[in-house]
Structure 1
Amino acid sequence: VLAWAAAALSYNTTQASALTGVVAIGTAVGAVVASMRMRLDMATKVIPLGIAMGVLLILMVFIKSIWIAIPFLILLGGLGGYLVVPMNALLQHRGHNLMGAGRSIAVQNFNEQAAILGLGAFYSLSLK
C-alpha cells in the first residue's frame, strides 16, 4: 500500500500510512464476518478469495483517485480478513492433530515471520 500510494497517488509516507489503516478496517470487518459465517469443514471453500485478491491487486495499477482507492482497499482488506480466519483455523486444527496445539502455532508463527523477513529482503533488493 505504501509504495502504491506513493506511485499512484503521489502520497508521502504519512498519507500512505492512513491508507494502510483503511485496509485494516476492511480486514477487521472481513475477519468478524468470517468468524460468524464460516465453519471449519468449509474452510477450503475460501481459497478462491485468494485468487480474487490477486486479480484485484493487479487492478490497483489503474486506480489514480483516492475516492476509488478507499472503497477498493476496504474491499481488499475485507477479502483478506475473510480468507485468513478460516485458513488459520484449518491450519491450527490440522496442526493440533499432527503435532499438538502449541507446537503448531509456534511453527505457523515462525513461518509467517520468516516469510515477512524473506519477502522484505527481496523487496529491498529489488529496489536497488
Structure 2
Amino acid sequence: MNFQRPRPDDPEINLIPLIDVLLVILIFLMITTTYSKYTELKINLPTADAPKARPYTHEVVVGVAADGTYAVNGRILPTRSVNDIVTALAQAAKGNANTMVVISADAQSTQQSVINVMEAARLAGLSQLTFATQRSSGS
C-alpha cells in the first residue's frame, strides 16, 4: 500500500486573463486621459545676454507700451491702427528700404501689439526687424 499523497503538478499561472484585464485597463486610461491646454502654461521668457548689436546706419525705433500705445522714434501716435503705424514708419524711413526697424516692446504688452508693428513694417516695405532687449539682472 502506498500511503503517500500524490504530488500535484507544478502550479502554472495562466497569463491570458491577466493580459485581458491589463488591456481593458489600458483602454480605459487612454479614453479618460485629459490633456492640458497650452494656454494654461505659465511661461517665463528668457532674457538676452548677447553682446550689443552693431549700430545701424539708419534705424527706426518703435516703442510699444503695456497699454498698446505706439511711439515711432519717440513720437507717440494718436491712434493704434496699423495704417497709422505704416504712415509713421514710412515717414521715419524716408524711402530707405534698408532701414532697420527696432521693436522695443514692454514685457507686459500684448503679442497683438507687436504683431501689428511687424505687419506695419511689412506694409511699409521695411523687411529688416530686430527686437530690443535688456540684460538679465544676473550679468
The structure number with the bigger radius of gyration is 2
Identify, as 1 or 2, the structure richer in helix. 1
The TM-score normalised by the length of structure 2 is 0.25
- The structure with more strand, counted as a fraction of residues: 2
TM-score norm. by structure 1 comes to 0.26
Q: Which gives a bigger RCO, structure 1 or 2 (Cα 8 Å, sep 6+)? A: 1
